[in-house]
Structure 1
Amino acid sequence: MELLLLSNGSLDGESALLDEMQVAHLHVKWENLVVPGDFSGILKEIPRVVRWKMEPSDMIFQLGVIEYLGWQGSRIINPPETILACDKASMYFTWRTHLAGSIRFPDTIISREKTRLLDFVRNHVKCVVKPLDGQAGRGIYLVEENNTEAIDNLCTTLDRKKALFLQDYIPNQGFEIRTVLIGDDVSFQYARGGGGFKHGMGSGGKAWRVMDVLPDLPAGTLSTMLSIAMKVKKITGLDTVAVDMLPDLDGTPWLLEWNPFFSCGGTVRLGLNIEEQIVQYLLSLP
């Protein structure tokens, strides 16, 4: 087997492209994978390349499968060890260690202590609450000092999650810039916004061409963002990554996060062939 795709349907676009190109591959949904049975059935032949997307609710099982395939000689995109740098806490520590001199990052607290979290909200007035293990904008909401309902929600979330990630809310122009890197040679940039304070497609946002927002950005901003994204890719070791940065009201970029399991929703209509380039990258691997 040359190429294996593992996801719960989020790689359907890449699978369809491989079908069109008549490239032999196997597309398996995580929910249909049984260990150890499938290693003598569906996966009895170890694939040369494995492209995967993680579902956070089933992370340990998926990491175990991916590590096994890597041990058997498969080239994994993205390698499991690189994913360890992609949770919210690791992003903050990576920025603080390697990128603090290059780009701003919202003031952040990670804590289990309710008193410290509430003090942070009082000091910043308006904050963004993010789950440490979230994906696609799920579980992210705003909390303000004078909003009793939001404060109660924060306390309830803390009781359920045991630790929370809070950031200062950065006033902005209503969009973020996503920079996508594939391998060492391919990059895309586009704007995302329109979904309220959350800009992603999963939160109701839309994709725009960077040319549509370019007049609102200082000269050189996109180049700076590309440079930061390339640093993130080098530091983490990811093969494919989407790096999201937020221009504030003055157009100054702030690093929000990076995502190894990004979607390409809304980009085809912009003329961005991201999935096609990912497929070409997979086929180019030795």
Structure 2
Amino acid sequence: MVIWIIGAKSYESNRILGELEKNQIEVKQLNWTEIDLPLKEIPELCLIRYSKGMMDKQGIIFVLSAIEELQRSGCMVVPSIEGIYREDKMSIYLLWKRYLSDKIMMPDTLITKDIESARIFLDKKRVVVFKPLIGGLGKGVLKIDKEDQLIDLFKKYQVLFLQEYIQSPSYDIRTIVIGDKIILKYARYNKNDFKHNIHSGGEGKTVEEIAEFDQNIENHMEKIERMALDIKNIARLDMMGIDFLPSEGGFLYLLEWNSTFGFAGAESTTNIDVAKILTEYILSKLKK
């Protein structure tokens, strides 16, 4: 049995590699620059992890085509290409609007190629958050309150994904789902920035730590427990990190989901061995 892990070397990919090797599995850790098409060999399973090569216009075409070819060739790809197509910011919002909007809120959103529509949205909301359609780790996410910023972003991206700015109590909630189980929930706290990602300076905190200053977190966690598997089924992903944002008014918003989620902060905060659970899951899929 041969498994490939494709993506940049990271804490997460190294942890997964270690767990697979403990199970005496032959593993190749590759970046997308090491993949040539047509493929000369096909592994039994391929685990896709985050990589900068997935972020540029030409790179994403290469990556998606390679994943499709791996699946067509009989390789089990995790996450599947169907799930990957459903996790860009635009797809997440449109799926939420169609299937989940009666169950949980998202920040008011505009997706446009028209700068005038963007100006009107900014004027109405006063402060908005721009997010690149593809990306992770909080990179490229900006809080905007000036028209000049909007124009500069439009020149760079041509498509603007803008969301109403929600004032939070300095944290968001990351939930990790693997298979049909909610593995963990924890808070990412950042009092210095509106972005709460660990890579943006956030720090992991337990429910008990957050409850010391925000008693609403218990209600938020109960709602997430009810919602997470519904979201996972809509996303069609085997495993995912789902991000929720509480507001200062006590409401809970869905922000996004991600199949190549980081889990260093999750492990250090909760002491749950995410890499082991993830590895056990993908090995169980191969046995079916």
TM-score for both structures, normalised by structure 2: 0.90
CA distance in 1, matches of 2:200, 2:68: 32
* Structure 1: unaligned runs, 5 residues or longer: 145-149
- The aligned counterpart of 1:212 is 209
Counterpart residue identity of residue 211, structure 1: E
Residue in structure 2 matched with residue 141 of structure 1 by the alignment: 142
Write out per-residue CA displacement over residues 44-70 of structure 1, whole angstroms, 9 at most, x where no aligned residue.
2x2222111252222111111111111
Verify: 1:179 aligned to 2:175, yes or no.
yes
Specify the code of the residue in structure 2 equivalent to 1:200.
Answer: N
State whether residues 8 and 31 of structure 1, in contact with CA within 8 Å, keep that contact through their aligned partners in structure 2.
Answer: no
Deviations 1:131-176 (A, max 9, x none): 11222211111111xxxxx431220110121110111111110000
Residues in 2 aligned to 1:197 and 1:221: alpha-carbon distance in whole angstroms: 19
1:279 and 2:275 matched: no
Displacement of 1:100: 0.8
C-alpha deviation, 1:109, in angstroms:
0.6
- Residues 130-169 of structure 1 aligned to structure 2 (within 5 Å): 130-144=131-145, 150-169=146-165
Contact 1:182 1:278 in 2 (8 A): yes
Shift of 1:192: 0.8
Counterpart secondary structure, 1:131? coil
Q: What amino acid is aligned across from residue 196 of structure 2 in structure 1?
A: H
Alpha-carbon distance between aligned partners in 2 of 1:162 and 1:186, rounded to the nearest angstrom = 37
| The 10-residue stretch of structure 1 (265-274 or 235-244) with the greater mean CA deviation from structure 2 | 265-274
Q: 2 CA distance for matches of 1:154 and 1:79?
A: 35
Q: Deviations over 1:71-119 (max 9, x none)?
A: 1111111101111111111111111111111111111111112121111
Question: Could you tell me which amino acid in structure 1 is paired with residue 206 of structure 2?
Answer: R
- For residues 106 and 186 of structure 1, the distance between their equivalents in structure 2, rounded to whole angstroms, comes to 24
Quote how far apart the aligned CAs of 1:186 are: 4.4
Shift of 1:8: 1.8
Runs of 4+ in 1 over 6 A off after TM superposition: none
Structure 2: how far apart are the matches of 1:220 and 1:130?
A: 28
Note if contact 1:225-1:253 (Cα within 8 Å) is conserved in structure 2.
no
Instruction: Report the alpha carbon displacement of residue 227 of structure 1 after superposing the two structures with TM.
Output: 2.2
**Structure 2 unaligned regions, length at least 5:** none
Tell me, yes or no, if the aligned pair for 1:217 and 1:251 is still in contact at 8 Å: no
Tell me how far apart the structure 2 counterparts of residues 251 and 274 of structure 1 sit (CA, whole Å): 29
Aligned-partner residue type, residue 22 of structure 1: Q
Matches of 2:167 and 2:238 in 1, distance apart?
32
Whether contact under 8 Å (1:56, 1:135) holds in the other structure is no
1:137 partner letter:
G
Secondary structure of 2:93 counterpart? helix
- CA shift at 1:21, angstroms? 3.7
Give 3-state SS (helix, strand or coil) of 1:85's partner: coil
Counterpart residue type for residue 30 of structure 1:
W
Aligned to 2:24: 22
**What is the CA–CA distance in structure 1 between the aligned matches of 2:265 and 2:181, rounded to whole Å?**
23
174, 197, 200: which one pairs with 2:194? 197
Partner of 1:147: none
Contact 1:129 1:142 in 2 (8 A): yes
Determine the C-alpha separation between the residues in 2 that align with 1:268 and 1:245: 18
Distance (Å, rounded) in 2 between the aligned partners of 1:109 and 1:62: 27
Residue number in structure 1 paired with 2:238: 239
Q: CA deviation at 1:253?
A: 0.8
In terms of mean alpha carbon deviation, does 48-57 or 211-220 score higher? Answer: 211-220
Provide the C-alpha distance between the structure 2 equivalents of 1:185 and 1:60, rounded to a whole number of angstroms.
Answer: 32
What is the aligned-residue identity percentage?
Answer: 29
Q: Say if 1:263 and 1:122 are closer, same or farther in 2 by CA, change over 3 A.
A: same
